[in-house]
């Protein structure tokens, strides 16, 4: 009986050793970061004629993934869904030039800011003469919330659109008399509608001209720390300057 017990124990030791060796030789899966982009949001993020993602935030995302030596994949979404997707951990990173606010900071982690966003009133008339205007904004954006709060005294009809590219379209087809737009989209609107008699004027408000940062899954502080180190690296080595010059005629940070 003692010999049988000893033999059984020996076989268990051998089996466990072989099993451990097999697991040790299995290649570890490399994590792939899921990065969220705003849909139809040139020059920050959009698809080119071949369907490839291009834009400032696309290049920035690739630089950061290279810096932390982690593969990444992009997914596009409309603005109104961004915070919920990141806060639930459906994606790891929001590469959407998100303005940092106390309300958002309760739901997601933010990296250090990497640029500043301004907001513009784009119309044929100044905002001071905009009584009863139809004003287009991107649904769920800072600009949308500001417009809703400031619409009553001016008699505005606020028209939420799903993506930034719809702002120019709403002016072109006559649905809107004005748009309230972040600086990146404002550049594209003025370029596209250069002959339409429009002017772009910055809106002076404490809610605008705020720092822009990368939003991160709130359960992954280690990733946020990695991205902060990577941001510092690409600022120091000139890579951030390079993509700034590629997409903008002025410094955005």
φ, ψ (nearest 5 deg) of residue 2 = -60, -35
- Position with higher pLDDT, 34 vs 27: 34
Q: Select from 30, 216, 26, 192 the least CA-distant residue to 114.
A: 216
Task: Give the Cα separation of 147 and 81 in Å (integer).
Answer: 19
φ, ψ (nearest 5 deg) of residue 220 = -130, 70
Q: What is the mean pLDDT of residues 13-40?
A: 64
pLDDT digits (tens, 9 = 90+) for 129-160: 999 999 999 999 999 999 999 999 999 999 99
pLDDT digits (tens, 9 = 90+) for 69-128: 999 999 999 988 999 999 999 999 999 988 898 999 999 999 999 888 889 999 999 999
**Domains, the chain, ranges and CATH?**
33-116+210-247 (3.40.190.10), 119-202 (3.40.190.10)
């Amino acid at each position: 009986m003692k010999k049988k017990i000893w033999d059984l124990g020996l076989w268990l030791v051998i089996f466990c050793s072989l099993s451990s060796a097999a697991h040790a030789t299995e290649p570890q899966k490399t994590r792939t970061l899921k990065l969220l982009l705003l849909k139809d949001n040139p020059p920050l993020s959009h698809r080119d004629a071949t369907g490839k993602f291009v834009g400032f935030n696309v290049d920035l995302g690739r630089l950061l993934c290279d810096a932390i030596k982690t593969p990444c994949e992009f997914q596009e979404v409309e603005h109104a869904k961004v915070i919920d997707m990141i806060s639930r951990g459906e994606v790891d990173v929001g590469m959407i030039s998100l303005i940092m606010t106390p309300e958002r900071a309760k739901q997601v982690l933010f990296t250090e800011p990497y640029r500043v966003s301004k907001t513009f009133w784009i119309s044929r008339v100044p905002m001071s003469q905009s009584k009863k205007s139809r004003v287009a904004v991107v649904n769920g954006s800072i600009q949308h919330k500001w417009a809703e709060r400031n619409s009553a005294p001016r008699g505005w009809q606020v028209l939420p659109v799903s993506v930034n590219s719809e702002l120019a379209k709403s002016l072109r087809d006559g649905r809107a008399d004005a748009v309230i737009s972040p600086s990146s989209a404002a550049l594209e609107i003025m370029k596209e509608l250069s002959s339409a008699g429009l002017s772009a004027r910055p809106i002076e408000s404490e809610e605008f001209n705020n720092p822009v940062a990368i939003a991160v899954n709130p359960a992954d502080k280690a990733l946020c720390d990695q991205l902060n180190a990577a941001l510092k690296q690409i600022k120091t080595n000139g890579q951030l300057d390079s993509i700034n010059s590629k997409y903008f005629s002025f410094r955005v940070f």
